[in-house]
Every structure is written in structure tokens, then in C-alpha cells.
Amino acid sequence: MAKKESSFVNMVLTLFVVTAIAALTLGGVYTVTKEPIAIAKLLKIEKAISEVLPEFDNISEYKILPEGGSDSLTFFKATKNGEEVGTAIKTYTDRGFSGRVWIMVGLNPEGVINNTAVLEHKETPGLGDKMDKTKSDWSNQFNGKNPTEFKLKVTKNGGDVDAITAATISSRAFCDAVQRAYDEFKKQESRIKSQEPRVKNQESRVKNQEARTKK
Amino acid sequence: MNQLQNFTKGFIKDNPVFVLLLGLCPTLGVTTTAINGLGMGLATTFVLVMSNLVVSLIKNLIPDKVRIPSFIVIIASFVTIVELTMQAYTPALFEALGLFIPLIVVNCIVLGRAEAFASKNNIISSVIDGLGMGLGFAFALFLLGAVREILGSGAILSMKFIQGDGVLVFILPPGAFIALGYLIAIMNRLKKTT
């Protein structure tokens, strides 16, 4: 078969056909893999939640946009037999060495860190990626610490966290993400507490009204 | 040149990394561990074989002046297919290599083989060329990854054999250049004696 001539019509036609076929194939592959990808992502989050929290049987999920943050945090409140066992918070930081880092932080009802898991990161392999539990046990130092006493900063900045060797920026980023989760957790807690008395007031107002009508 | 020579040339004589010095971006980027290098090499092999196959199939239908854009579209499509499939069915592997998969598109070894070999040869030779070159690339990446892992983290295939950290520089980009330089020197010495 002779080689096609490089005429204008030929070139346009060839490029059109090549790109059309490529687009169709990719569209097909995307549709086929869309669901498995979504499932894989969901499984990963579920796995992370069960890693960072004690045993639970029910989870309620809600999202919160933190002040000054560019993306929302996801709270997963876990209960067992109706009793709160802890909250897993999907948090992030933009202070990573190369882009955003997503971390799942598990806090027990008092705000003590139960466990952490790295969901997604682009840190340097061999250095910053030691924040991942599969690479090193560095992040275990956060477990069982209460951020009110345990300063979430690396020792170089006057905090209590031992940084990863040669990866201070990644360690700082990790602390930043945990701190963000903790701050929002505390804010939520105080909001819930401030709401409770209001409910009580309403109840007493209703009681007062009832008493008045009885009179 | 018979098919066996065609296949084996990718390992020593025309090794993409040690001799042609092509595709250095993923070579230096991913080879912090042996297993990462191997994974990247195998993913590239798949893309290389598929793109060589398609390019040699349609080589007569593509006018000369638009062959490069057409090849790039074909290669990019295969890379995206690999990326989506890995993400869907092997999430663990995707996590380790995810960053580097899109880099296969800009790996000049893939375009280089499409242009220099597949667009001039028949389907069977092209597929064998892709397989040989791809596996040669994987072999080189595995070797470089192993050297860097042993020196940099004191481990091989994620199994640690020393306490603490290794020579940190080998994990960092400069270490990749140093290790690659010595490997090329050794390869050249070996080739001279045979």
C-alpha cells in the first residue's frame, strides 16, 4: 500500500479520524472504569476510618468549610450502640513539599488523637513519604496525645513533634493538617454545647407558657 | 537482523537508558526503590508494545506531515487507558506509581520507537521491538532502583538490612545522576570486553 500524500484534505481527515477514535475509546474506558474507581476511593476512605477509630457500628457524615481554608473537611462521627466513640476527620494541608496532603485523623470524644492515616500525598519518595504508616512508624508519635498539651509543631519551631529526618517541611505539613482538624473539632464541640442551653431555654419557655395558660 | 536480535538489542546493545539515554525523566524520578522502577518499566513496556502495534498497523494511512501528532495522540490514549485501568483495578499499585504514569506520554523512548522503528517495519517486528525495548527499559530502571534503594535506604525490595537511614543523597535527585553515571560506566566497560 502506498503512503498517503500529505495534502491538506488528507492531513485534516487523518487527524480528525485519529482524534475521534482516541476520544471514543477513552470515553468508553472512562465509563467502564468510573464505578470501580469510585468504589476503590470509597473503600480507601472506609479503611482509613476504621484504622483511625476504635470499633464502631454506625457513622454519620457531614462536611465543614473551615475558616480561611480552600476546601471542606469531612467529619465522620462514629457511634457504637448509640454512644459516641470518636470522630474521624478527613483533613488536608497545602503546606506539603509538593502539593496538597490529605490525612484522616481520628479523635476520641475528648479530642485526644486516637490514630492517623495518610490518604493522599505527593511528598518525596524515601523522605517525606515516611509520614505514611506503610513506610515508617513516624506518625505513631501522635497517637494518644491531646493537642491542648501536645504542641503540634516540630521541635525546631518549639513544638513537641520530632520531625522526619531530612523532611521537616513534610512533618510541618502533617502537623498543620492535624491542627486544622483539631481546631475545627473544638469549634464544632463548642457550637454543639452552645446550642444545648438554647434548646433547654425553649423547653422552659414552653413550660412557662403552659403554666401561664393553666393560670 | 533476526527476531531474536531484534528482541535482545533493547537490553545491552541499544538499551534505552544506558546507551540511548532516552526517557531520563521517569528514570531519575521513579527509581527510588527497585519495585517502583520495575512497575514503571512494565507500564512503559505495555504502552510501548501497544503504540508500536498500532503505529505499524496504520503507518501507511498517516500522511508524513501529521505523523508525529497522530503518534502522540495514540500514545497518550494508551497511557490514559493504563492510568484509568490501574486506578480502577489495582489501586495499591496506582498509589505507588500514580504520579509517574502520565509521564509515560512524554517519555521520548515511546515516541522514538514509534518514529524510528514502528513506522518503517511490519507488525511482528514492531511488537517484538516494543517488547524488547520496554523490558530493557524496565531492567535498567530496576537495576538503578535497586542500587539507589540499597545505598539510600539500606533495603532491598522494601526489606531493610541496616538500622536507620542510608546515604540520603541517593534517594534525592542528585543521587540518581551519580548512580546512573556509574552504571553507564560499568555497562560501557562490560561492552568493551565482550
In tens, the pLDDT along B42-62 reads: 888 988 999 999 988 888 888
Does any CB of chain A come closer than 8 Å to the CB of residue B70? yes
3-state SS class at B194 = coil
Contacting residues of B for A5, CB less than 8 Å apart = 63
Q: Is the pLDDT reported for residue A197 higher than 50?
A: no
pLDDT class of A209 with cuts at 50, 70, 90: low
Q: Which of B65, B77, B85 sits opposite A6 (nearest CB)?
A: B65
**Share of residues in chain A with pLDDT > 90 (%):** 9
The enclosing H or E element of A83 equals strand A83-93
pLDDT of residue A199: 44
Measured between CA atoms, the residue of chain A closest to residue B99 is A122
Q: Is the pLDDT reported for residue A31 higher than 90?
A: yes
Question: A92: which strand partners?
Answer: A102
The enclosing H or E element of B56 equals helix B34-58
Q: Is the pLDDT reported for residue A1 higher than 50?
A: no
Q: How far apart are CA B145 and CA B16, in angstroms?
A: 16
ipTM of the predicted assembly exceeds 0.85: no
Q: Which of A96-110, A140-154, A197-211 has the lowest mean pLDDT?
A: A197-211
CB pairs under 8 A between A and B: 81
3-state SS class at A210 = helix
- Say which DSSP state A120 is in: E
pLDDT class of A62 with cuts at 50, 70, 90: confident
Phi, psi dihedral angles at A60 (to 5 degrees): -115, 140
pLDDT of residue A198: 44
B84 and A29 in contact by Cβ < 8 A?
yes
Q: Is the dihedral of CA A77, A82, A86, A88 positive or negative?
A: negative
Q: Is the pLDDT reported for residue B99 higher than 80?
A: no
Average pLDDT over residues A99-106: 89
Q: How far apart are CA A112 and CA A148, in angstroms?
A: 9
**From start to end of chain B, where are the E strands?**
155-156, 159-160
Question: Would the pTM of this model clear 0.80, i.e. be above it?
Answer: no
Q: How far apart are CA A64 and CA A66, in angstroms?
A: 6
Average pLDDT over residues B118-144: 89
pLDDT of residue A74: 86
Average pLDDT over residues B155-168: 71
Does any CB of chain A come closer than 8 Å to the CB of residue B88? yes
Does any CB of chain A come closer than 8 Å to the CB of residue B8? no
CA B184 to chain centroid? 16
Contacting residues of B for A14, CB less than 8 Å apart = 61-63, 66, 70
Between B25 and B189, the more confident residue is B189
Q: How far apart are CA A87 and CA A49, in angstroms?
A: 9
3-state SS class at A55 = coil
- Say which DSSP state A22 is in: H
Q: Is the pLDDT reported for residue A101 higher than 60?
A: yes
Domain residue extents for chain A = 46-196
Average pLDDT over residues A72-87: 84
pLDDT of residue A211: 54
pLDDT class of A204 with cuts at 50, 70, 90: very low
The CA-CA-CA angle for residues B21, B24, B27, to 5°, reads: 120
Asked whether B39 and B96 are in contact (CB, 8 A), the reply is yes
Q: Is the pLDDT reported for residue A28 higher than 90?
A: yes
Nearest-neighbour CA in chain B from A120: distance (Å): 8
Q: How far apart are CA B29 and CA B171, in angstroms?
A: 10
| Burial status of residue A9 (CB atoms within 10 A of its CB: 0-12, 13-18, 19 or more) | exposed
Per-residue cell: B190: 562490560
Helices (H) and strands (E) in chain A, counts: 2, 5
Average pLDDT of the residues of chain A: 81
Q: Could you read off the pLDDT of A130-186 as tens digits, one per residue?
A: 888 877 788 888 888 888 888 888 888 888 888 887 788 889 998 988 888 888 888
Between A192 and A67, the more confident residue is A67
pLDDT of residue A152: 82
Average pLDDT over residues B178-186: 90
Average pLDDT over residues B64-92: 87
Nearest-neighbour CA in chain B from A171: distance (Å): 17
Does any CB of chain B come closer than 8 Å to the CB of residue A4? yes
B171 and A125 in contact by Cβ < 8 A?
yes
A126 and B171 in contact by Cβ < 8 A?
yes
Contacting residues of A for B50, CB less than 8 Å apart = none
Q: How far apart are CA B162 and CA B180, in angstroms?
A: 23
Does any CB of chain A come closer than 8 Å to the CB of residue B152? yes
Q: How far apart are CA A150 and CA B141, in angstroms?
A: 43
Average pLDDT over residues B7-35: 80
Asked whether A122 and B96 are in contact (CB, 8 A), the reply is no
Nearest-neighbour CA in chain B from A47: distance (Å): 13
Q: Which of B6-10, B133-137, B165-169, B170-174 has the lowest mean pLDDT?
A: B165-169
Determine if residue A71 is left, alpha or beta; phi over 0 gives left, psi from -120 to 50 gives alpha, anything else beta: beta
Average pLDDT over residues B135-164: 81
pLDDT of residue A200: 43
Q: Which of A36, A40, A165 sits opposite B165 (nearest CB)?
A: A165
Asked whether B44 and B26 are in contact (CB, 8 A), the reply is yes
Contacting residues of A for B88, CB less than 8 Å apart = 33, 36-37, 40
Measured between CA atoms, the residue of chain B closest to residue A23 is B77
Contacting residues of B for A1, CB less than 8 Å apart = 60
Nearest-neighbour CA in chain B from A195: distance (Å): 42
Nearest-neighbour CA in chain A from B84: distance (Å): 7
Q: Is the pLDDT reported for residue A203 higher than 70?
A: no
**Closest residue by Cα to residue B189 from A51, B181, B10:** B181
Per-residue cell: B21: 539515554
Q: Give me the long-range contacts of B8-11 (CB less than 8 A, separation at least 24).
A: B8/B132, B9/B132, B9/B136, B10/B129, B10/B132, B10/B133, B10/B134, B10/B135, B10/B136, B10/B137, B11/B132, B11/B135, B11/B136, B11/B139
> Residue B53: CA atoms inside 13 Å, Cβ hemisphere, count?
10
Per-residue cell: A128: 517525606
Nearest-neighbour CA in chain B from A129: distance (Å): 11
Average pLDDT of the residues of chain B: 83
Q: How far apart are CA B174 and CA B168, in angstroms?
A: 10
Q: How far apart are CA A135 and CA A130, in angstroms?
A: 5
